Structure 1
Amino acid sequence: MLTNLKRLSVLELILALRAISIVTQLGLVLFVNLALGYELPWVPLFTIITIEVVFNGLCFWFYKLRATKGAKHIVIQLLADVVFLGCLLYFSGGATNAFVSLLLIPIAIAAVSLSYLRMLLVAVAAVGTYSLLLWAMPMHVMHGNMEGHFIGMWINFLFSALVVSVVVGQLAQMITQREATIARYREEQLKQERIMALGVASAQVTHDLATPLATINLLVEELQESDEHQPEVIEDLVKQVARCSENLHAFRQTTEQIKTNQKQRVSSEKLFKQIKHHCQLNYPQCKFQFLSECAETVIEADGALIPAIVNIIDNAVEANKHTDKNQINVSTSIVDETWRLAIKDFGKGFLAEQTSQLGAYPQASEQGLGISVLLSNASLERINGKLELANHSDGAQVNISIPIVEGAV
Structure 2
Amino acid sequence: MFVFSPNSAIGRLLLLRTIAIVVQLLMVLAGSFVFYKDLNLFPVLLVIAVESAFQLVSVYAYRNTYEAAHTGMLLQLLADVIFLTIILSLSGGASNAFVSLLLLPIVIGAVTLPKHFVIVIAVSAIASYGYLFWQMPSEHVHHMNMTQHFAGMLVNFVFSVLVIVFVVMALAKQLQQREIKLAKAREKQLKNEQLLALGAAAAQATHQLATPIATLGLLLEEVQEEHPQHPAWQDIQVALTQCKEQLEGFRAQTEYLKHTPSQAPLKIGDLLSELKSLAAMQFSSQSIILEVSNQQDLICADPLLIPALLNVVANAARANEQTSQTKIEIKSCSQNHVWILTISDLGSGIEPHKLVKLGHDIVPSEHGLGMALVLSNATLERLQGKMTIENNPQCGATTTIMLPLMKITI
TM-score, normalised via structure 1 length = 0.91
2:100 matches 1:101: yes
Decide whether the 8 Å contact of 1:315 with 1:368 is kept in 2. Answer: no
Partners of 1:40 and 1:7 in 2: CA distance: 35
Structure 1 residue ranges without an equivalent (≥5): none
Query: In terms of mean alpha carbon deviation, does 197-206 or 163-172 score higher?
Result: 163-172
Q: How does 1:53-72 map to 2 (within 5 A)?
A: 53-64=52-63, 69-72=68-71
Q: Deviations over 1:297-353 (max 9, x none)?
A: 222212211221121122112222332544322221112222222111122323333
Shift of 1:70: 0.2
Partners of 1:353 and 1:305 in 2: CA distance: 28
Q: 1:406 to 1:175 in 2, by over 3 A?
A: same
Q: After TM superposition, which residue ranges in structure 1, 4 or more long, deviate above 6 angstroms?
A: none
Partners of 1:47 and 1:380 in 2: CA distance: 66
Shift of 1:10: 1.1
Structure-2 residue corresponding to 1:252: 251
Q: How does 1:216-295 map to 2 (within 5 A)?
A: 216-222=216-222, 226=225, 228-230=227-229, 233-260=232-259, 261-295=261-295
Q: 1:177 to 1:297 in 2, by over 3 A?
A: same
Letter in 2 for 1:41: N
Structure-1 residue corresponding to 2:23: 24
Structure-1 residue corresponding to 2:153: 153
Aligned partner of residue 266 in structure 2, secondary structure: strand
Letter in 2 for 1:352: P
2:371 matches 1:352: no
Q: 1:68 to 1:255 in 2, by over 3 A?
A: closer
Shift of 1:258: 2.8
2:396 matches 1:406: no
Letter in 1 for 2:34: A
Q: 1:163 to 1:308 in 2, by over 3 A?
A: same
Shift of 1:231: 7.5
Alpha-carbon RMSD across the aligned residues, in angstroms, is 2.5
Decide whether the 8 Å contact of 2:269 with 2:294 is kept in 1. Answer: no
Shift of 1:402: 1.9
Q: Deviations over 1:183-228 (max 9, x none)?
A: 111111111001001111111222223333333444455567x364
Decide whether the 8 Å contact of 1:342 with 1:398 is kept in 2. Answer: yes
Query: In terms of mean alpha carbon deviation, does 82-91 or 284-293 score higher?
Result: 284-293
Decide whether the 8 Å contact of 1:388 with 1:400 is kept in 2. Answer: yes
Shift of 1:388: 0.9
Query: In terms of mean alpha carbon deviation, does 303-312 or 258-267 score higher?
Result: 258-267
Structure-1 residue corresponding to 2:398: 397
Structure-1 residue corresponding to 2:361: 361
Structure-2 residue corresponding to 1:124: 123
Query: In terms of mean alpha carbon deviation, does 4-13 or 17-26 score higher?
Result: 4-13
| Count of residue correspondences | 405
Partners of 1:288 and 1:64 in 2: CA distance: 57
Query: In terms of mean alpha carbon deviation, does 102-111 or 162-171 score higher?
Result: 162-171
Structure-1 residue corresponding to 2:308: 308
Structure-2 residue corresponding to 1:173: 173
Letter in 1 for 2:31: V
Decide whether the 8 Å contact of 1:315 with 1:369 is kept in 2. Answer: no
Aligned partner of residue 72 in structure 1, secondary structure: helix
Structure-2 residue corresponding to 1:207: 207
Structure-1 residue corresponding to 2:337: 337
Partners of 1:236 and 1:113 in 2: CA distance: 67
